[in-house]
Amino acid sequence: MESFEITGKWWLPNKPEKKVHGTLNYSPSSGGELKIIGLLHDRPKVISDGSEFQDEDLILGMAEGRFITCYKCRKIKHSFSFIQGIDEGTLVFDVEFIFEGYHFLREDDILFDEISINYSNLEHWLLDFPLSFEEYFDASNNETKLSFKAQKSEIKLYESSELALYLKTNLNYKRSKYSRSLNQITYFKIFSMDTLHFKDWMDGILFDLKKLISFSLDVPIYPILIKGKRNDHKRIHEFTKKELLLPINIFYKTNQTTEKVYASSLIFSYKDIKEKTSVFFSNWFRISTDLRPMINLYNANIQNKKALETQFLNFTQAVEIYHRRTFSESTYIESELFDELFTALCDIVNDKIKNADARNTFIKKISYINQHSLRRRIKEVLRQLKEDDFIDWDDGECRLFGDKVSEQRDILTHYEKERADKLDYKELAEYTMKTKEIVRICISYELSKY
C-alpha cells in the first residue's frame, strides 16, 4: 500500500447534488484523512460547538479520474467563519477504509466475490515456490543481451464448499532512464462461493491467513496490496471479448513493521506443506475457529511489543485454553460424586453465612474446585506432546515446567507482597520463552493431524 494525495469533489451517497471540494491523503502508517471545504449536509440553522458536523458511514468522491469510496469516516476537526459564510467551513475526517475504483451507495453494498492480498515477508514463507520467469544472458562481441521468458503461475492450495484459495504470481516491470527492474509478486487469491461483506472478509479468511503467516514466520506482518472484485463490476475486453472483473483497490492503516525474519524461527514454509496444502489449510481453518482465543493471544504478543508480564500471562492462558478445548473433561472426582458434595457444601454455606454477597461468592468458588489446576493442565498437555514425540523432555523437566509456570502465574495475578518481591525476572523471561515454544508446538501438533 503506497501513500498518495488526491484532490477532487466529495459528496454523500444520498446527496449527489451537493458536492464540495477536498483532498484525500493516505499513508500506510497513519491511514486516510479527508479534508473538505464546505458542507456535505444542508446548512444548519444554528452553529454551536460543531456537534452539527457528524461522522459519516460513507463519503463518495471523484478525484483525478478515480472513483473513491471513503468508509467509516470519523470527524476529527472542524472550523467555520461567519464572515466568509458557513459553506466555506472546513471539515477533516479520519477515514478507516478507502475503496478506489467503485462507488458504494450503502454500507450493506460493500460486498466482494474475490479478494487478492499480498503480505509483507511473504517471500520468506514461499521458499521453493517456482519462479514465473526464466532469464537469458548473453555477452559477446561487445554486446550484452538480457531477455526474460515470463509466464504467470497459479496454484490451488485449498477448496471447500465456502471458498477456493490460490497462490498466484504476477511480474512487475519498472524502467527508468538508467535502470530496469523485474519483480515477481506472489499473492493469495481467494474466491468466495457466496458474496461476502467486506467486514466478513476482514474478520474471516483474511484474518486467518494473516495469523497463519505471522505464526509461521514468528514476526508481525501487514498487507502490502489488497484488491477486491465483484461479479457485477466488469467490462468486455476489446480484443478477446471476454468479461474482465475490474479491481477495486483497498487501503487502510496497516501499522507497518520491519522486523527481520530469522531462519531459526521459521516453523514451516510453503516448501514444507506443498504436497499436502489441502489438508494443511483445512486444519488451519479448523483450529483458527476451534482455538481462536488461543491463537489470538499468541498473535497479540507477536503483533505488538508487550511488557514481559503480559507476554507471559498471554502465553500461559493460551496453554490453558488449549487444554480446555482439546482435552476431555478434567476433574478430580466423578461428576455425580461432586454434585452430591457440592449440594452438601452449599447447604452448609447457606446455613452459616448470612451475608448474601459473601454467600454467593463462596458458592461460586466451590463450583470450580473440582476442575483441574493450571499446573495439572500444563502437565497433561506436555504428557500428550511427549507421547507423540513433539517434545523430548523427561518427566522431571515436565514437572518442573508445570510447577514454575503455575507459580509465576499465581504471583502475577494473585498479589502478595512477600511473594511478589521474590519474583525473579530473569527466570520469568526464560519461562516466557519456554511457554511461547509450547504454544507453538501445540498449534503445530494440531496442524499435523490428518
203 and 190 in a common domain:
yes
* Number of domains the chain is built from: 3
Q: From 66, 90, 106, give the residue that closes a domain.
A: 106
Return the percent helix, strand and coil in the chain, to nearest 5.
40, 35, 30
Q: From 106, 141, 174, give the residue that closes a domain.
A: 106
Residue 350: per-residue pLDDT: 84
The answer to pTM > 0.85 is no
Q: From 106, 121, 136, give the residue that closes a domain.
A: 106
In a domain, 355, yes or no: no
Q: Supply the range of the domain harboring residue 77.
A: 4-106
Residue 411: per-residue pLDDT: 87
Measured CA to CA in angstroms, residue 42 lies from 8, 12, 15, 36, 171 at distances of 20, 11, 10, 15, 49
In a domain, 381, yes or no: yes
In a domain, 357, yes or no: no
161 and 57 in a common domain:
no
User: 152-183 in b/e burial notation, b at 16+ Cβ within 10 A?
Assistant: ebeeebbeeeebebbbbbeeeeeeeeeeeeee
In a domain, 354, yes or no: no
In a domain, 364, yes or no: no
In the chain (450 residues long), the average pLDDT of successive 10-residue segments reads 90 91 92 89 56 80 94 84 58 94 95 94 77 59 66 84 90 73 82 95 92 90 92 84 90 81 83 90 92 93 86 95 85 77 84 84 79 86 92 92 92 77 87 95 88
126 and 272 in a common domain:
yes
118 and 98 in a common domain:
no
Amino acid letter, residue 408: Q
250 and 197 in a common domain:
yes
437 and 323 in a common domain:
yes
In a domain, 338, yes or no: no
Return the SS3 of 363. helix
100 and 115 in a common domain:
no
156 and 92 in a common domain:
no
